[in-house]
Amino acid sequence: MKALVYHGPGKKAWEDVPNPAIKDPTDAIVKVEVTTICGTDLHILKGDVPAVTDGRILGHEGVGVVTEVGSDCKSVKVGDRVIISCISKCGTCDYCKAGLPSHCKTLGGIGWIFGHLIDGTQAEYVRVPYADNGLIPLPEGVSAEQGTMLSDILPTGYEIGVLNGAVKNGDVVAVIGAGPVGLAAIMTARTAGAAKIIAVDGNKFRLDQSRDFGATETIEAGENVVQALRELSHDGLGVDVAIEAVGLPATFGTALESVRPGGHVANIGVHGESVEFPIERHWINNLTITTGLVNAITAPELLEDIKEGAIAPEKFVTHQFPFGQFEEAYDTFANAAEQEALKVVITNLQ
């Protein structure tokens, strides 16, 4: 089969590799129909994730059809169309039972293994461990592109941004960073009842797009962002929830400084360097600060929202490529600002 293979920092290739095979009785093999590229894949290509070794097939998102199942698979059957969750889970360890499969003990304390510790979804076929837990049936009426957004991006914005941030009816919510994950937080904050959702970004295209995802206000990044956010809050004291969706010291600082006493700062961004937390100023402010790796346990709930028309994840898709054009797809996503790209999808549908 063909797959997108990592060969060290800055090196990848669409090449012939052996087809995956069942290794454990809980495995399934899925023929990938649609996949996409995540910002994490770009971090891997930069060499930021040393656990990813030469020869690893990249990718952790997608939709496909089950072609083979292990003897212990109970619910997954050959022929099922499924969403491949970015988080694998045994379903029986303490962390899985507690709703934190991102730290599945059976998998060594990390549920994100596709394209990381095992071969991923940017391939014609993929082996899925614990398939009964890691594959979600794709309902009739939900497209493969919509389903692919449920592998990672939508649950991440919802779980780590909206749920961790405890967004409730009437809240004023600031989303710092209107890239794909920030837009996912915006889309799901609206359904959670936020009265005002303020998107902050330095890119005009993303700010314009954010209104279609549910933002009620937009602010272009600059020196006076914190003041502008406070002015848009209920009483000038700050927003109820600030969601950081970039992963930089400056954007974390903006989130921290713009939230009101008693508010929440929900960090989604992947940080590559230390940030400053001036506790001498903020210890008195009764803030709640959360971080997290997605658990992807809300995908069934989000599927219902899609079927009811409450959210429309197809809006994320700005570019489409066939499987033979992975290089072009990566170039487009790596230059998202210039290409006005949100999510690119790569399809193997005939």
Each residue's pLDDT tens digit, 320-333: 999 999 999 999 99
Strands 172-176 and 196-201: parallel
Give pLDDT, residue 99.
96
Q: What is the mean pLDDT of residues 149-156?
A: 97
Nearest-angstrom CA–CA distance, 243 and 224: 18
Q: What is the mean pLDDT of residues 215-222?
A: 95
% of the chain beyond a pLDDT of 90: 96
Give the torsion sign (CA, 150, 18, 129, 78): positive
Each residue's pLDDT tens digit, 109-148: 999 999 999 999 999 999 999 999 999 999 999 999 999 9
Buried/exposed 76-105: b ≥16 CB within 10 Å, e otherwise: beeebbbbbbbbbbbeebebbeeebbbbbe
Q: What is the mean pLDDT of residues 196-203?
A: 97
Domains of the chain: 2-152+295-347 (3.90.180.10), 157-290 (3.40.50.720)
Give pLDDT, residue 347.
97
Q: What is the mean pLDDT of residues 168-172?
A: 97
- Secondary structure percentages of the chain, helix, strand, coil, to 5: 30, 25, 45
Q: What is the mean pLDDT of residues 291-296?
A: 96
Each residue's pLDDT tens digit, 16-27: 999 999 999 999
Give the residue from 203, 158, 164, 149 showing the smallest Cα distance to 182: 158
Nearest-angstrom CA–CA distance, 116 and 81: 24
Confidence of residue 222 (pLDDT cuts 50, 70, 90): confident
Each residue's pLDDT tens digit, 230-249: 999 999 999 999 999 999 99
Give pLDDT, residue 349.
79
Confidence of residue 48 (pLDDT cuts 50, 70, 90): confident
Backbone angles phi, psi at 4, to 5 degrees: -95, 110
Count CB-CB contacts under 10 A for residue 19: 12
The beta strands (E) that lie in the chain are given as 2-6, 12-16, 28-36, 62-69, 81-84, 125-128, 135-137, 172-176, 196-201, 217-220, 239-244, 259-267, 288-290, 317-322, 343-347
Nearest-angstrom CA–CA distance, 230 and 261: 12
Task: Say yes or no to pLDDT of 350 above 70.
Answer: no
Mean per-residue pLDDT of the chain = 96
Strands 12-16 and 81-84: unpaired
Give the torsion sign (CA, 107, 108, 109, 114): negative
